[in-house]
């Protein structure tokens, strides 16, 4: 395993609908420790987040960036623990290269680093986070820490039993490390 592609809302931080206020950013349990263990194990971290509130005109991209800065501050893992951040600001009905479940960001990481798909693992709280991996042959892990019913979403997407699901982020990281 070389790297992790991480969802933000509902995976690393508490899900707040259309989050635009950095004061509302709150880390989920086990995230700091899980990311520390991943970094110490030499895994590269990548952040991939759909932010349709920008495309819908609810807030500017600068608000997303401010929330990311606040999350990084709360993580306390260095100035920039993520090797790359990809924000898809489009609304669901707008054309987009990176909006999940598009695998474009994952494919760019593979090409940039010369890695195989099975050397990356997507971690997220929604089926569309895991569909990115399903489209490419990458690994994926669900975390049932977000707003939605992940098991129901996975069943509807045809992913039930395809990827493991954990109740805490740090447990998902321990599973990733058991694969290496």
pLDDT, position 84: 98
Rg value, the chain, Cα:
15
pLDDT at site 179: 86
pLDDT at 82: 98
pLDDT for the residue 148: 75
pLDDT band of 147, cuts 50, 70, 90: confident
Question: How far apart are the C-alpha atoms of 122 and 170, rounded to whole Å?
Answer: 14
Confidence at 88, pLDDT banded by 50, 70, 90 = very high
CB 52: neighbour CB atoms within 10 A? Answer: 17
Token pair 């993580």 is found at 75
> Which residues are CB-neighbours of 137 under 8 A, at least 6 positions away?
117, 118
pLDDT at 48: 98
For residue 163, give the H/E element and its range: none
Distance, in Å, from the CA atom of 56 to the CA atom of 65, rounded to the nearest integer, reads 17
pTM of the entire predicted model:
0.97
Q: What pLDDT shows up at residue 39? A: 98
Tokens for 24? 């509302």
Q: Cα-flanking dihedrals φ and ψ of residue 41, to 5°?
A: -85, 0
| Angle at CA of residue 1, ends 7 and 125, nearest 5° | 20
Q: Quick one: pLDDT at residue 42?
A: 97
pLDDT digits (tens, 9 = 90+) for 38-60: 999 999 999 999 999 999 999 99
Token pair listed for 26: 């709150």
């Amino acid at each position: 395993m070389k790297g992790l592609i991480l969802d933000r809302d509902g995976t690393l931080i508490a899900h707040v609908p259309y989050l635009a206020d950095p004061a509302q950013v709150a880390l989920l349990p086990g995230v700091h420790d899980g990311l520390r263990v991943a970094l110490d194990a030499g895994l590269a971290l990548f952040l991939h987040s759909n932010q349709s509130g920008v495309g819908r005109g609810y807030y500017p991209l600068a608000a997303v960036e401010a929330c990311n800065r606040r999350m990084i501050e709360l993580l306390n893992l260095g100035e920039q623990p993520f090797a790359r951040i990809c924000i898809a600001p489009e609304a669901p009905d707008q054309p987009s290269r990176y909006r999940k479940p598009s695998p474009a960001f994952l494919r760019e990481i593979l090409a940039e680093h010369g890695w195989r798909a099975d050397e990356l693992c997507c971690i997220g709280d929604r089926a569309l986070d895991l569909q990115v991996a399903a489209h490419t042959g990458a690994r994926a892990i669900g975390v049932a820490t977000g707003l939605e019913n992940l098991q129901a979403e996975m069943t509807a997407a045809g992913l039930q039993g395809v990827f493991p699901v954990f109740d805490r982020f740090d447990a998902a990281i321990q599973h990733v490390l058991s694969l290496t």
